[in-house]
Structure 1
Amino acid sequence: MHSGLVTGAYIGATVLFILALGGLSNQEKAKRAIWFGIAGMAIALLATIFSGGGAIVPIIGLIALGGACGTIVARRVQMTQMPELVAAFHSLVGLAAVFIGLNADIEAQQAAQALRDGAASTLSGGVAMLAHKTPIELSIMRVEVFLGILIGAITFTGSIVAYGKLAGKIQSKALILPGRHAINIAAGLGCLLLGGLYFRCAGIWTVICVALIAGVVGWHLIMAIGGADMPVVISMLNSYSGWAAAATGFTLSNDLLIVTGALVGSSGAILSYIMCRAMNRNFLSVILGGFGARSGPAQAIEGEQVAIDTHGVAAMLDDAESVVLVPGYGMAVAQAQQSVSELVRRLRAKGKQVRFGIHPVAGRLPGHMNVLLAEAKVPYDIVLEMDEINQDLPSTDVAIVIGSNDIVNPAAQDDPHSPIAGMPVLEVWKAKHVLVLKRGQGTGYSGIENPLFYKENARMFYGDARKSLDELLTQVH
């Protein structure tokens, strides 16, 4: 393919990617935005395939294999498993960056050896291009390789840990090692020292060691973050994978990979910053894995959890004039969004004011609850953000919490030693009555006790959320 056509295709794909990112900020435009992204990726793939010379057949074969694997995974993964799937995909981006960096160094060594042997004319492809680079260009390439391997290795192991925590395969509690910050600083300095040796042409062993050390750092950083903060971690790792891709793009001299990597990296960083503000966290502390640890003993909780049956819930809703629903990950696990939507429809048909309160980090992925509610065809205009609904909760008759814990936990305001201390939460306890749909009396994914469940105006509606709501629907007409 002519280089001009490739450049034009890359520009078109970039525009489509930007439109996709812009459209995802609006629920009504999100579906069209996804199609923009799909079209952009298709154009990018075709342009890359047909600009690759004689390697078209194996490239198409590998794309077909990867596409088949992706299709199988996509069909098997439930909506509740999307956060861990995203984390797993991030790990693959990081691993690819490491392999590409190592391969680039091997090719550079081959080119250098061919020049010394006077056999540069026998080289082809990327190795031949490296043979014609100036010393300055080769030095810049080493910086790109070093950064790609460093960021890629951190992204790879960090994403694996995030996947394990989200999937319940690794304990969600933060792992706090003695002198953990000193360990991270020492590892960072070690990587810089090895990078200096690599720039002085000490050999590929230096960047292999960088990959190993950075991998340990990635593991340690994410292990030190508690489960309550994992939504921020996913966004942060998304940013890391973007910067790893951008570094890889520089190594491969691929303009589109540079641009798309920068788009992913910057958008992920911006989202991480927004989420940190929403959770009252320090952005730099997130990057360094320095939050999520309890600084002292948690406050004791007094009282008991009072259960309520279906008849009691129906009577409570019948007497209410205003209702606010707060969905969380438990709603996603139970696949209760359709039942929630039907309950909302019936309550509104009876003339009651019904709205949703959505916390910025509800679920285990930003926007998780919005997607589920949109899937159940809940009207957009009654789905409000935390800041919009909190001021109305004191005048609300019934606040219904569906499978949430941390985002409605008053300990964030009352207990300075809580892992979520200072995090803005939905103040549902200020409503006249609070109804909590919960499987049992456990602490949930994050392992944090919630004093809300013991308050005098709170009632516990135990059981699977969908089954409980379906039973309730038989008495709400």
Structure 2
Amino acid sequence: MNILLSIIYLISTITFIVGLKKLGHPETAKSGNLIASVGMGLAIVGTIFINDIEVPIIIYVLIGVAITIGSIMGWLIAMKVEMTKMPELVSLFNGFGGASAALIGVVEFIGNDNISGTKATMVATILSAVAIGSITFSGSLVAWGKLNGSLKSVIKIPQYNIINNLFVIAIISFSAYIVMSGSDSQLFLYGLLGLGIVYGVLFVLPIGGADMPVVISLLNSLTGIAAAITGVLYDNMVMLVGGILVGSAGIILTISMCKAMNRTLGSVIFGSFGATAVAEEGINKSLGTIKKTTSSDAAIMMNYATNVIIVPGYGLAVAQAQHVIHELEELLVSKGVNVKYAIHPVAGRMPGHMNVLLAESNVDYSILSEMDDINPQFANADVVLVVGANDVVNPAAHNDPASPIYGMPILDVEKAKHIVVNKRSMKAGYAGIENELFYNSKTSMLFGDAKEALTELVGELKGM
């Protein structure tokens, strides 16, 4: 390999690592993203113009046109997308990454004039790119459809656990047969591609929208693995390292998300993931009575509080109330109230969704607290305001061994002195069960659209 190109790849690899490190904190995330982007730009330019291969001018023209069109489209989409739509954008872009890996595998298989004479390990690598890339592509598109409302949140498939597992076995077995037989049949290749696409759809279809943080994290990881495989195909170190970084980071994040959802990685991959227990209609467990409140009463509680903790959930994003809640927070701080936000790892529709949403409204990063840090502080909170969150604050995770969320780490909201919960209705969360918190004697329910309710709350506070 050209020495200059090797140096460029080394620099790019370092920028990826530094960028990934900076992405670990909101204050440095923007600079980390820019650093990694510069590194990727260097790698692309180096790969195109510094190589030992004679390339016709027309190829350079086509590459330039493709990069220009892609850059303009990406820039326009990124500039116009709303923060509430960020999960859909992540899923869509991730799907295109998987499609790229699958297409590279297809091209390598078809373009190899002596596939039967190619080492089995290389053929296996090509087929892995096709299979993983196609699964990621179709799965990400289904996730995108669920998140933007084009598809139903949960589409039940009879015996889908068995069907999905059979598809996994079929993909592995079919790939092994192609490798061992040395077949160069394009029909087999397209058959494997089709199996991957169908499995990606079946894998995500039964999963509810509330479970999407884990799904998106896992699909991102698969895209990274697919990118690493293409790096092996082209003996390209920067693709390999970049793919490994994305894949490993995605797996670590997926495992963290699984723990936060009280699931195992095995249950995510092999079937029980997304299966939720639906509460039986008409059964009242006599948890207690619901106590309603008004914006005026909630404002009085907060006005005379010393410590207030805000718990944002997906309902906040749906109502696009991030700017109003920031206004509420600033108003409380101006009155001498100590305000913090409690962020659950799986609140929202993608990892870090609440952090991104609140960042859009310029909430100070220093008052965003992760679950493990904020839980000990709930006992000292005078008022906790829960906006659009449900299962992540349900005490049944601690109190009811029969509950489907038993053992799931939650925010210990029930320990606060007073609790105000804003919801549109008493509709259950993704687990389909009653929330014990809503019946707590310390809880007051503030029903209504989050944006409207918070706006009224701000108005009441301003008048005090």
TM-score, normalized by the shorter chain, greater than 0.5: yes
Identify the residue that residue 123 of structure 2 maps to in structure 1.
142
Give the alignment partner of residue 211 of structure 1, picking from 170, 189, 193. 193
Q: Which residue of 1 aligns with 2:438?
A: 453
Matched, 1:246 2:228: yes
Residues in 1 aligned to 2:276 and 2:460: alpha-carbon distance in whole angstroms? 44
Residues 109-148 of structure 1: pairs in structure 2 closer than 5 A: 109=113, 112=114, 135=117, 138-148=119-129
CA contact (8 A) 1:278 1:424 kept: yes
Aligned to 1:116: none
Identity %: 42
Q: How do residues 257-276 of structure 1 correspond to structure 2 at under 5 angstroms?
A: 257-276=239-258
Which AA in structure 1 matches 2:131?
A: L
Give the structure 2 partner of residue 195 of structure 1: 175
2:67 to 57, 60, 63: 63
Once the 2 structures are TM-superposed, how far is the Cα of residue 176 of structure 1 from its aligned partner? Answer: 5.2
Measure the CA separation in 1 of the matches of 2:426 and 2:256.
32
Root-mean-square deviation (Å) = 2.5
For the Cα contact (< 8 Å) 2:277–2:432, is it kept in 1? no
Match of 1:311 among 272, 296, 303: 296
How far apart, in 1, do the equivalents of 2:323 and 2:277 lie? 41
CA 1:464 to 1:224, structure 2 compared with 1: closer, same or farther past 3 Å? closer
The one of 109, 114, 138 equivalent to 1:105 is: 109
Relative to 1, partners in 2 of residues 1:196 and 1:309: Cα closer, same or farther, differing over 3 Å?
Answer: closer
State which drifts further: 383-392 or 457-466. Answer: 457-466
- TM-score relative to the length of structure 2: 0.89
Find the counterpart in structure 1 of residue 48 from structure 2. Answer: 49
Measured at CA, do residues 248 and 358 of structure 1 come closer, stay the same or move farther in structure 2, by a change above 3 Å? same
Structure 2 equivalent of residue 420 of structure 1: 405
Q: Is the 8 A contact 1:228 1:406 kept in 2?
A: no
The match for 2:166 is 186
1:100 and 1:57 map into 2 onto residues whose CA distance is 20
Alignment of 1:224-373 (within 5 A): 224-294=206-276, 297=279, 300-302=284-286, 303=288, 305-373=290-358
Aligned-residue offset at 1:426? 1.1
List alignment gaps of at least 5 residues for structure 1: 113-129
Deviation of the 1:296 alpha carbon: 7.3
Q: Distance in 2 between matches of 1:255 and 1:69?
A: 28
* Aligned counterparts of 1:472 and 1:184: Cα–Cα separation in 2: 48
Partner SS, residue 112 of structure 2: helix
- For 2:138 and 2:401, the matched residues in 1 are separated by 32
Query: Residues 469 and 254 (structure 1 numbering): CA distance in 2 closer, same or farther, change over 3 Å?
Result: same
Partner of 1:29: 28
1:431 paired to 2:430 = no
Letter in 2 for 1:403: G
Residue from 151, 155, 169 that aligns with 2:136: 155
In structure 1, give the amino acid aligned to 2:78.
Answer: A
The structural deviation recorded for 1:144 is 1.0
Change beyond 3 A, Cα 1:406–1:340: same
Which shifted more, 40-49 or 169-178? Answer: 169-178
**CA–CA distance in structure 1, aligned partners of residues 96 and 431 of structure 2:** 26
- d(CA) in 2 for partners of 1:326 and 1:295? 25
- TM-score (norm: length of structure 1): 0.87
State yes or no: 1:39 paired with 2:38: yes
Unaligned 5+ residue runs, structure 2?
none
- What's the offset of the Cα at 1:436? 1.6
Rate the CA distance shift 1:261–1:277 in 2: closer, same or farther, 3 A.
Answer: same
- Alignment-mate amino acid for residue 101 of structure 1: G
- Give the Cα separation in 2 of the matches to 1:41 and 1:309: 53
CA distance in 2 between partners of 1:327 and 1:9 (Å):
43
Tell me how far apart the structure 2 counterparts of residues 306 and 99 of structure 1 sit (CA, whole Å).
57
Distance 1:189 1:373 in 2: 43
What residue in structure 1 maps to residue 85 of structure 2?
A: 81
Amino acid corresponding to residue 107 of structure 2 in structure 1: N
Q: Deviations over 1:43-88 (max 9, x none)?
A: 1221222247221110010111111221222233211111111111
Q: Give the letter aligned to residue 453 of structure 1.
A: F
CA distance in 2, matches of 1:42, 1:292: 38
